[in-house]
């Protein structure tokens, strides 16, 4: 069960009055649930959404399960990837969390956090590993820390109310879980009900998953390819089945060179998580226009 807050608690957290809070709830600016006794309650993720979208200064961050903010100056996104990689190598999980969460709280989208903080930090980590400046254990432990933080970020998103379902994975032999997890979070942040199946899954099993669950979107993150013709054939088989179930196949990942892409069938290719967010928003808008009665 998500943590629920009273209008008074949220008012205290953002330095506002309880009556303003109740008015905003009644105007639908904040989604509420009612207790058995009929009192308004605000899910903590909903309060966080409200704060992020309005870029509000929060007086009592702990009340909203937020990390306390540093000065806005110290929070510049251009510096964040460098700060993040330093904190990862220093095994300072607390600093890593503060960086990610502060940007998120201040309204930076999950997709920008992925593209502009985490991905470049890992590109730097890869360069440092190549130059023997970081050990393999440091890289592996950085991956684990980042996956924990991505899961925390997922928990901070307003739970999806949409019935539209997206599923994704990586193909057998591809162990890159960070981009696959990012894609899930980005789709979730744009309102999709999502399920990340996992990494290194045989194509036949992914095909069964599509047949059984018939998601509207199936994403594949492709970061490592050992046998190009096998991967091309597997993706094309997945697309063939997806087509029958009206599932859009969205592919992305560092291993998908333009030469490989030219041999593939897919519904959309995205270079970045921000492209994925834009594609996903467009799909949601089409669905809402086609079926105005159902929740987008």
Per-residue x/- track, 88-117, ligand B12 (CB under 6 A): --------------------------xx--
126 touches ligand B12 (CB under 6 A)? yes
Minimum distance of ligand B12 from residue 70's CB (angstroms): 25
- What are the CA-CA distances from residue 87 to residues 28, 84, 98, 237 (Å)? 40, 5, 10, 42
- Look up residue 73 and give its DSSP letter: G
What's the CA gap between 99 and 78, in Å, rounded? 12
239 touches ligand B12 (CB under 6 A)? no
What's the CA gap between 51 and 17, in Å, rounded? 15
172 touches ligand B12 (CB under 6 A)? no
Q: Give the pair of three-digit tokens for residue 110.
A: 């999950």
Interface with ligand B12: number of residues (CB under 6 A): 33
201 touches ligand B12 (CB under 6 A)? no
The dihedral formed by the CA atoms of 177, 183, 184 and 187, expressed in degrees to the nearest 10: 180
Q: Is the dihedral of CA 104, 110, 115, 121 positive or negative?
A: positive
Selected range binding ligand B12 among 58-66, 87-95, 125-133, 227-235, rule: CB under 6 A: 125-133
Strands 268-269 and 33-34 come out as unpaired
Ramachandran sector of residue 291 (left: φ over 0; alpha: ψ -120 to 50; beta: rest):
beta
219 touches ligand B12 (CB under 6 A)? yes
Q: Which of 18, 22, 60, 173 contacts ligand B12 by CB under 6 A?
A: 173
175 touches ligand B12 (CB under 6 A)? yes
The DSSP line for 265-291 is --SEE-SSHHHHHHHHHHHHHHHHHH-
Selected range binding ligand B12 among 22-30, 64-72, 174-182, 239-247, rule: CB under 6 A: 174-182
Q: Between residues 48 and 167, which has the closer beta carbon with respect to ligand B12?
A: 167
Selected range binding ligand B12 among 55-63, 69-77, 168-176, 236-244, rule: CB under 6 A: 168-176
What's the CA gap between 96 and 125, in Å, rounded? 14
Q: Between residues 5 and 119, which has the closer beta carbon with respect to ligand B12?
A: 119
Selected range binding ligand B12 among 8-16, 27-35, 60-68, 171-179, rule: CB under 6 A: 171-179
* Interacting residues toward ligand B12 by CB under 6 A: 114-115, 119, 122-123, 125-127, 130, 139, 143, 173-179, 182-183, 219, 221, 223-224, 250-254, 270, 272-273, 276
């Amino acid at each position: 069960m998500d943590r629920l807050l009273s209008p008074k608690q949220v008012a205290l957290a953002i330095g506002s009055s309880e009556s303003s809070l109740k008015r905003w709830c009644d105007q639908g600016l904040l989604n509420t649930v009612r207790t058995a006794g009929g009192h308004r309650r605000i899910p903590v993720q909903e309060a966080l959404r409200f704060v992020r979208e309005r870029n509000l200064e929060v007086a009592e961050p702990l009340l909203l399960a937020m990390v306390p903010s540093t000065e806005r100056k110290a929070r510049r996104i251009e510096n964040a990837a460098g700060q993040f990689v330093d904190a990862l190598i220093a095994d300072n999980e607390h600093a890593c969390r503060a960086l990610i969460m502060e940007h998120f709280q201040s309204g930076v989208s999950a997709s920008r956090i992925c593209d502009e903080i985490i991905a470049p930090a890992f590109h730097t980590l890869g360069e440092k590993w190549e130059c023997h400046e970081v050990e393999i254990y440091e890289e592996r432990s950085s991956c684990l820390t980042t996956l924990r933080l991505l899961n925390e970020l997922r928990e901070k998103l307003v739970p999806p109310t949409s019935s539209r379902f997206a599923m994704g994975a990586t193909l057998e032999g591809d162990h890159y879980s960070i981009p696959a997890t990012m894609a899930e979070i980005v789709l979730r942040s744009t309102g999709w009900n999502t399920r990340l199946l996992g990494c290194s899954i045989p194509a036949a099993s992914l095909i069964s998953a599509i047949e059984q669950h018939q998601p509207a979107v199936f994403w594949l993150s492709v970061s490592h390819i050992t046998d190009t013709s096998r991967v091309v054939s597997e993706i094309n088989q997945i697309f063939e089945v997806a087509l029958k179930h009206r599932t859009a196949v969205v592919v992305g990942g560092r291993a998908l060179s333009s030469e490989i892409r030219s041999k593939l069938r897919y519904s959309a290719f995205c270079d970045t998580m921000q492209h994925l967010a834009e594609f996903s928003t467009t799909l949601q808008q089409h669905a809402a226009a086609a079926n105005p009665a159902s929740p987008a």
